[in-house]
Amino acid sequence: MIDVFQTLLGIALVLVSVYIYNYYNEVTNYWKKYKIPGPKPHLLFGNIIQFIALKKSISECVKQLYDEYKEEPVFGIFDRTTPMLVVNDLDLIKDVLIKDFSLFTDRGLSFYPKVEPLTEHLFVLEPERWRPLRANLSPVFTSGKLKEMFLLMLDCSMYLEKHLAKIADKEEPVDCRELSAKFTTDVIGNCVFGIDTSALSNEDSEFRRIGRSVLAPSTRATIRNFVREILPFLYKTIGHLLQPPGADKFFTKMVVDTINYRKENNIYRPDFINILMELKNHPEKLQNVELTDTLLTAQAFVFFVAGFETSSTTIANTFYELAQNHGIQDKLREEIRQSDTKYGKILTYDRVKEMKYLDKVFKETLRKYPIFPVLMRQALKNYTFRETKITIPKGTKMWIPVYGIQRDPNVFSDPEKFDPERFSEEAVAARHSMSYLPFGDGPRNCIGARFAYFQSKVGIITVLRNYKVDVCEKTIIPYKPDPRSFLLSLKGGVYLKITRA
């Protein structure tokens, strides 16, 4: 009996070994058959093993790969077990994002609605549902709507001013990342849901707690991401156990209750919930898309999460750089005060648009610290890149290495230097349009980019108008991205000193 068992075990080990050998051989030679260069991948972990091992951020991994192969128009890697084409050439990037967009409409991201229902949103949806949803949600970000929402942003800036006075009096290091997150949570709560989230005034704000649980790096999040990417078959079964506790129910109940309350009381507000109400009243606008409460909630959820996370991180990164570059900070404060002298202290939409130096500072922050290190696309058909002999098959997933490009000295000289003048009209005109992509480009760019611009700028103005930021004993220099997060953020928080100017 034992001999039979040992024989069967031996056969099983041989078969497994043969399978692993054949699989690894296939992976190793995958890109070679398309005559595409690339580094040799690790078994199961591909070319981002340092990110999986939490030794480097995905931003650093992407830049390391980009630096090694940036002379190639494209190169091939593996994101764990998935072949991933990295597109370096700026003209080819323009083809993918704009010229041939119809062939790259999909981001190629997996989602599992049964265990994570709020992931059926614009960022990940397949083209068939993305198109009508995008078309019907875009009106909330027109200039007219943004001007209406700008007044709601100002309401939140008043709470920020009161909070800043308390911080300055304490003269203690403050985590500007958390401060900015509270401000943007209040703004998004007001502009998206029409709700006072009290994140700045209440340490126990439920909105801020839920927002923190959804995106903050944690052991639960690390396990969830690992199982989701490496063991998707298992994730479909246990994924619901790994979600942030209470987040799905909280957002679904809040969106449904808010819509019902407004409908019953005939309430109108110029915000995102109003757009969702119009869609619910006229589902035919979405053509053949089944409009469920979960699908509606998912759109509100992604606007909340993306709206507070990306803007708060960018605001904090702006202060991080200004604290180390006092000349730039003083010049920006002078622009703000000159505007106050000319128009008075009440901000307006048009006044913010007029602040040219603020715009340069904001764009340089996003150049040096793009929140998303890569853009993602998937080929819907076989595709041949122009002026090359490279053809990729239908279904090929690709990354556009934003972080690598925006820190390439051949594109931006001395890329580690914080220099807002990179965004003078002359400098911008001299560069390739695809060299700067913090919000993507083309029809599937970030739908809320303009909102993010104004939200972030209002926060920056509110702080710098009467306060100055400086480094302190808790400031982490140099900037070390958090390896637990796919989004670019400083590990340990952005601790700075805020004092009256």
- Confidence grade of residue 134 (pLDDT, cut at 50, 70, 90): very high
**Given this model, what pLDDT does residue 25 score?**
65
Q: What angle do CA 210, 208, 113 make, to 5 degrees?
A: 30
| Proportion of the chain above pLDDT 70, given as a percent | 95
Mean pLDDT lowest among 221-235, 421-435, 463-477: 221-235
- Mean pLDDT on 360-381: 98
- Confidence grade of residue 231 (pLDDT, cut at 50, 70, 90): confident
- Confidence grade of residue 266 (pLDDT, cut at 50, 70, 90): very high
- The residue ranking higher by pLDDT, 110 or 246, is 110
Q: Which CATH architecture has domain 89-390+407-463?
A: Orthogonal Bundle (1.10)
Tell me the whole-structure pTM to 2 decimals. Answer: 0.93
- The residue ranking higher by pLDDT, 116 or 335, is 335
Which residues does residue 94 pair with via DSSP β-bridges, in sequence order?
Answer: none
- Confidence grade of residue 17 (pLDDT, cut at 50, 70, 90): low
Mean pLDDT lowest among 135-144, 216-225, 326-335, 413-422: 216-225
pLDDT, tens only, 175-225: 999 999 999 999 999 988 888 999 999 888 888 988 888 877 778 888 888
- The residue ranking higher by pLDDT, 102 or 242, is 102
Name every residue whose Cβ is closer than 8 Å to that of residue 64 and which is 6 or more positions away in sequence. Answer: 56
**Given this model, what pLDDT does residue 14 score?**
67
Q: Are 367 and 438 in contact (CB under 8 A)?
A: yes
**Given this model, what pLDDT does residue 180 score?**
97
pLDDT, tens only, 312-332: 999 999 999 999 999 999 999
Alpha-helix runs per DSSP H in 30-142: 49-52, 58-69, 90-94, 127-137
Residue 153 has pLDDT above 80, yes or no: yes
Q: Are 173 and 474 in contact (CB under 8 A)?
A: yes
- Confidence grade of residue 288 (pLDDT, cut at 50, 70, 90): confident
Q: From CA 455, how far away is CA 423, in angstroms rounded? A: 20
- The residue ranking higher by pLDDT, 20 or 91, is 91
Q: From CA 338, how far away is CA 38, in angstroms rounded? A: 53
**Given this model, what pLDDT does residue 8 score?**
65
- Mean pLDDT on 136-154: 91
Q: Residue 42 has what DSSP assignment? A: B
Residue 1 has pLDDT above 60, yes or no: no
**Given this model, what pLDDT does residue 212 score?**
84
pLDDT, tens only, 81-133: 899 999 999 999 999 999 999 999 999 999 898 889 889 999 999 999 999 99
- Confidence grade of residue 285 (pLDDT, cut at 50, 70, 90): confident
- Confidence grade of residue 9 (pLDDT, cut at 50, 70, 90): low
Name every residue whose Cβ is closer than 8 Å to that of residue 267 and which is 6 or more positions away in sequence. Answer: 261
- Confidence grade of residue 24 (pLDDT, cut at 50, 70, 90): low
Separation in Å, CA 255 to CA 252, 261, 273, 294, 424 = 5, 10, 8, 10, 42
Alpha-helix runs per DSSP H in 34-192: 49-52, 58-69, 90-94, 127-137, 143-170, 176-188
- Confidence grade of residue 20 (pLDDT, cut at 50, 70, 90): low
Residues of the chain with CATH 1.10.630.10: 89-390+407-463
Residue 368 has pLDDT above 90, yes or no: yes
- Mean pLDDT on 145-157: 92
- Mean pLDDT on 157-175: 93
Residue set of the binding site: 446
- Confidence grade of residue 15 (pLDDT, cut at 50, 70, 90): low
- The residue ranking higher by pLDDT, 68 or 28, is 68
Residue set of the binding site for heme: 446
Q: Are 73 and 89 in contact (CB under 8 A)?
A: yes
What is the average pLDDT value for the chain, to the nearest integer?
A: 92
**Given this model, what pLDDT does residue 45 score?**
87
